[in-house]
A and B are shown apart, each in its own frame.
Chain A
């Protein structure tokens, strides 16, 4: 038997080179991401404190917190989820239960996936023309609408995916007992896919809690506590943006604190969503 040592050596060399490259790619990538998280923690934790939740955003040079921004973020995110989730669930249900292979479903699916990854700043421009221009001024309502527009595609996608995981034999069993279609959907498939659908809603909240660009032309910002939905409202991302590009040190600290709060919120929501999603599978 002839052993081609040169060829064998070359293949081994290529393999080792590839393994080294792949390892270093992983190290390189994870190092940057670790670098970001570390910077976020070290700068953010230093600026954390109870005052963040009790005081409103300060003028430069004085003490203050982020209470109005936190309040605004919570109100607008909740509003968007309350509006967007039912619409998304119904649309996802239509795709999975009624029109699985229809032409309309094909188009809706395509358009939904485009909206899912479309630049959020463009959606902000759309809601600016739709809500802000007719109203004549920026408002929290416009902020809620744009965030709902971002929520809907996320919920549509997860709802459809989760409903498709429900075995058809369940639907057939319910139908054969004489249950009308809407009973089958409400009492059987929605129940079977419940954890997955909730996961989708949580992921949607995680997605919108850091959205900045579309907020800038809809809800704008507000340096005072405001509960009026027809007036501009502060939000964490908008305050982070405004404070980070300002020249004031104490504003930078607040921006870091806000960034840390947003990240903690997003990570917590994603982790809960992941745990729920795993429960579903087992």
Chain B
């Protein structure tokens, strides 16, 4: 009897030790993973803090006038962000105007119209293209697209609209090839695969029962897509479009090559300009004075704030859609 009870207690101590050791490993493991998660928060906080700290000298020198002045003169240490802000907003607007309808068109083509045989290969090709680095689009824009655009589009368009009141100003000036409009076009080509891939994924979540029911009462393909599929997927499409807008706003290399790097707001869309990201990429390593560097960092802060708002809104849209599906 005693022997048994003795061995039992011994056994229990060993078990307790093992359990305690496993418990300690457990705590360590949980804390490690929690620390990693908190590190993500710290990176985010660090980005904001470093941008604010870095832009203090420029903020002290120019105040809120920084956002509303156009003058950008490193020689006199005067900096205003209006030109880059204008460039960023206008190039992104042009990109979205073109890429959104075309991207949704591609997505509809892929989910509803494409012969089943080509659906997968074309879909995969588009996903792969969405991953191509932006510098590739930039170098292509500079060496191939801009020269072609200059001769084949800009000159004829400029000649055609030269005497039309509004269009004449909007598309006036000299055909440089590079400029705000070219940058917007390159951007649109770059975000096109992204929009198409996201929209396709969203459209594929539309339950086929819904579509079949609509076809069953005699709706045409157009009616099914416009009145059943798109309304069902609306939040996802809008969220995807806003993610694409976030990319377009912050895109650097595809824009830097072809925007022309001129810190002024010209009335013509064909004229060279600059964007926030292009200004930072081009001038940061050449900035000699503290205020110059700081002005560029303040540009970065503005860019971060703008994209943060767009991306946060996009996330809310996508989340609300996932919730609607009961995920």
How far apart are the CA atoms of A167 and B273 in the complex, in Å?
53
Q: Helix, strand, loop or mixed for chain B's interface?
A: helix
Cβ B37 vs Cβ A94 within 8 A = yes
Of A22, A94, A123, A212, the contact of B36 (CB 8 Å cutoff)? A94
Residues of B within 8 A of A203 (CB): 131
The interface-forming segment of A62-70, A125-133, A191-199, A223-231 is A125-133
Q: Does B222 contact A (CB under 8 A)?
A: yes
Question: Are A122 and B300 in contact, CB atoms less than 8 angstroms apart?
Answer: yes
Interface residues of B in 66-120 (CB under 8 A from A): 101-106, 108-110, 112-114
Q: How far is the CA of A33 from the CA of B113 in the complex (A)?
A: 20
- Distance of A93 Cα from B36 Cα, bound (Å): 9
Give the shortest distance, in Å, between A44 (CB) and chain B (any CB): 10
Interface string of A242-273 (1 = CB under 8 A from B): 00110000001001100100110011001100
Q: Is B105 a contact partner of A156 (Cβ separation < 8 A)?
A: no
Q: How far is the CA of A182 from the CA of B24 in the complex (A)?
A: 10
Would you call A237 and B133 a contact (CB within 8 A)?
Answer: yes
- Do B253 and A241 touch across chains, with their CB atoms under 8 A apart? yes
Distance from A61 Cβ to chain B, minimum over Cβ atoms (Å): 20
B24 → A minimal CB distance (Å)? 10
Would B135 and A98 count as touching, CB distance under 8 A? Answer: no
Instruction: Find the A residue at minimum CB distance from B252.
Output: A213
| Stretch from A23-31, A49-57, A74-82 forming part of the interface with B | A23-31
| B29 CB contact (under 8 Å) in A14, A182, A271 | A182
The answer to whether A245 touches B253, judged by C-beta atoms less than 8 angstroms apart, is no
Within 8 A of A (CB), among B49-67: 50-51, 53-54
- The complex places the Cα of A201 from the Cα of B37 at a distance, in Å, of 17
Q: Interface with A: B155-163, B169-177, B205-213, B241-249, which one? A: B241-249
Complex CA gap A157/B45 in Å reads 19
Q: Find A43's partner among B28, B133, B143, B300 (CB 8 Å cutoff).
A: B143
Who on chain A is nearest to B226 by CB? A18
For A263, list chain B residues within 8 Å (CB).
Answer: 132-133, 136
B47 CB–A CB distance under 8 Å: yes
B residues in contact with A36, CB < 8 Å = 136-137, 140, 144, 189
Contact between B250 and A120, CB atoms less than 8 A apart: yes
Contact with B136, one of A30, A88, A262 (Cβ below 8 angstroms): A262
B295 adjacent to chain A (CB < 8 Å): no
Whether the Cβ atoms of B128 and A23 lie closer than 8 Å is no
Partner of B252, one of A12, A23, A121: A121
B139 at interface by CB-CB < 8 Å? yes
Contact in complex: B109, A23 (CB < 8 Å): yes
The answer to whether A105 and B37 have CB atoms under 8 Å apart is: yes
**B132 near A182: Cβ-Cβ < 8 Å:** no
Interface size on B, residues (CB 8 A): 91
Contact B189 A33 (CB under 8 A): yes
Contact A117 to B243, CB < 8 A, known contacts A210-B133, A240-B139: yes
Asked if B140 contacts A262 (CB within 8 A), the reply is no
- Asked whether B44 lies within 8 Å of A111 as measured between CB atoms, the reply is yes
Q: How far is the CB of A244 from chain B (nearest CB, A)?
A: 5
Chain A residues, Cβ within 8 Å of B253: 212-213, 237, 241
- By the criterion CB–CB under 8 Å, are A108 and B37 in contact? yes
A144 to B101, CA, bound (A): 39
Q: Which chain A positions have C-beta within 8 A of B252? A: 119-121, 212-213
Q: Confirm or deny: A180 has a beta carbon within 8 angstroms of a beta carbon on chain B.
A: yes
Are B128 and A270 interface neighbours, CB within 8 A? yes
Q: Which residue of A lies closest to B281 (CB)?
A: A213
Selected from B38, B54, B225, B308, the residue in CB contact (under 8 A) with A125 is B54
Q: Is B289 among interface residues, defined by CB-CB distance under 8 A?
A: no
Cα of A245 to Cα of B261 in the assembled complex, Å: 12
Contact of B34 among A98, A122, A123 (CB under 8 A): A98
Q: Which residues of B contact A207 (CB under 8 A)?
A: 131
CA distance A263 to B132 in the complex (A): 6
> Which A residues touch B36, using CB under 8 A?
86-91, 93-94
Complex: chain A residue closest to B253, CB-CB: A212
Select A241's contact among B29, B39, B50, B135, beta carbons within 8 Å.
Answer: B135
- Min CB distance B147 to A, Å, is 12
For B47, give the chain A residue with the smallest CB separation. A126
- Min distance, Cβ A95 to any Cβ of chain B, angstroms: 7
A244: which of B38, B125, B143 is its contact (CB, 8 Å)? B143
- Contacts A113-B315, A213-B277 known; 4 new A-B pairs at CB < 8 A: A11-B220, A33-B129, A90-B35, A203-B131
22 A-B contacts (beta carbon < 8 Å): A15-B222, A15-B223, A19-B222, A26-B122, A29-B193, A40-B136, A90-B32, A99-B37, A104-B34, A117-B247, A120-B252, A121-B281, A122-B303, A125-B50, A152-B39, A152-B40, A181-B30, A207-B131, A212-B253, A213-B277, A259-B139, A267-B131
A-to-B contact residues, CB < 8 Å: 11-12, 14-15, 17-19, 21-26, 28-30, 32-33, 35-36, 39-40, 43, 86-91, 93-95, 97-99, 104-105, 107-108, 110-115, 117-123, 125-126, 128-130, 149, 152-153, 156, 180-183, 185-186, 203, 206-207, 209-213, 216-217, 220, 237, 240-241, 244-245, 252, 255-256, 259, 262-263, 266-267, 270-271, 274
**Interface set of B (CB-CB < 8 Å, partner A):** 22-23, 25-26, 28-30, 32-41, 43-44, 46-47, 50-51, 53-54, 101-106, 108-110, 112-114, 122, 124-129, 131-140, 142-144, 189, 192-193, 196, 220-223, 225-226, 243, 246-247, 249-253, 257, 277, 280-281, 284-285, 296-297, 300, 303-304, 307-308, 311-312, 315
